[in-house]
Structure 1
Amino acid sequence: MEKLKQILTNALLAFALISTGFALGKHAVKPDVPADPQLPTANGRQIAVYYLHSTFRCVTCNTIESMTKALLDSTYSDALAAGAIQWHEVDFSENTAMAKQFEIVASCVVVAEMKDGIVTDYKRLDDVWTLMEDPAAFNAYISTAIDGYLKKTGGGV
């Protein structure tokens, strides 16, 4: 009887925590996310930086997105303005084709080389999760991927 009581207590606690997480998480999702984002259609070569996330996003997910966007805005503003780099925030739960293309199973950053709007190469940056506590290492990790593609495409900053 005591064992059953413990199991029910744990099950109710787990249910309460999961319900609370979903209730709080629905406020963390941006309301203006397009339902079906597409790969960019552009002429020439460029770099696409994607933050791919699931529909439910935790504080850590939002932090990774904001740190990535801040890096792009501060370090690559000229390349963004010139169109050499494009920023995309995509719900991979809704865009299953992109999730399959980039082999996405969890939220992450992807840096992709594009030619005429088609991905020719990409790097999935899964280590953003472990590096987010060290902003300098986080920025260096993402910058290394971006800079490598910028050198190849001739779209340097």
Structure 2
Amino acid sequence: MKSFNILLTLALIVPVLSCSAQGKKVDEKVAPSSKIEAYYFHFNSRCVTCKTVEAQAKENLAVLCPEQMKAGTITFQSINLDDASSTAIAEKLKVSGQSLLLVKGAAQINITNEGFMYARSNPDKFKEIIKQKVDGMLK
């Protein structure tokens, strides 16, 4: 009989505790980011194509979006993955190798393949891809 009372008590208390353990939801409004951050991740050892992807991406952003670049609403950052200081941003963006990313808030567009495919062989195509992706993020 004593074990029955304990089981009954537990059966009544557990649901109450599990509901109250969730805590209160706080209505947090996070303002959407209006800033577009372009990141080019690389290593110490770089080939001609790697350097060209970085240079073309940076130049294209400067030509396509001069006002936004000047105002800081679009930024470009080259990050060396061999530097210990790059670990936090690489983990945050889930990057482990050479990558070209456009980031706006939680949205992330990876244009690495396009960069390596077109930066040297068809720079106009690469510029058009950057324009299309950035224009889409500015809306």
**TM-score normalised by structure 2 residue count:** 0.67
- 1:80 corresponds to: 69
Separation in structure 2 between the aligned mates of residue 59 and residue 70 of structure 1, nearest angstrom: 16
> What one-letter code is carried by the residue in structure 1 that aligns with 2:107?
D
Provide, for residues 30-65 of structure 1, a one-character-per-residue CA deviation record: whole Å limited to 9, x for no partner. xxxxxxxxxxxxxx5210011111122221111111
Q: How far did 1:103 drift?
A: 3.0
How many residue pairs get matched? 104
Give the secondary structure class of the aligned counterpart of 1:143. helix
Retained in 2: the 8 A contact 1:51–1:88?
yes
Question: Residues 58-77 of structure 1 correspond to what in structure 2 (within 5 A)?
Answer: 58-77=47-66
Identify unmatched segments of 5+ residues in structure 2.
1-32
TM alignment of 1:10-89, pairs within 5 A: 45-89=34-78
Could you tell me how far apart the structure 2 residues matched to 1:138 and 1:92 are? 24
1:124 maps onto 2:110 in alignment: yes
Alignment check: 8 A CA contact 1:92 1:104 kept: no
The one-character-per-residue Cα deviations of 1:84-143 (angstroms, maximum 9, x if unpaired) are 1011111123312322333323322110003xxxxx221111221112211121111222
- Per-residue displacement from partner, 1:62-93 (whole Å, max 9, x unpaired)? 11111111101111111111221011111123
RMSD: 1.9
| 1:104 matched residue in structure 2 | 95
In 2, Cα distance between equivalents of 1:123 and 1:70: 18
1:143 to 116, 131, 137: 131
Query: Matched residues, percent identical?
Result: 25
Q: Deviations over 1:3-40 (max 9, x none)?
A: xxxxxxxxxxxxxxxxxxxxxxxxxxxxxxxxxxxxxx
Cα distance in 1 between the residues matched to 2:128 and 2:36: 17
Partners in 2 of 1:76 and 1:48 — Cα distance?
13
Name the structure where helix makes up a greater proportion of residues: 2
Contact 1:92–1:98 under 8 Å retained in 2: no
What TM-score comes out, normalization by structure 1 length?
A: 0.60
Distance 1:140 1:101 in 2: 28
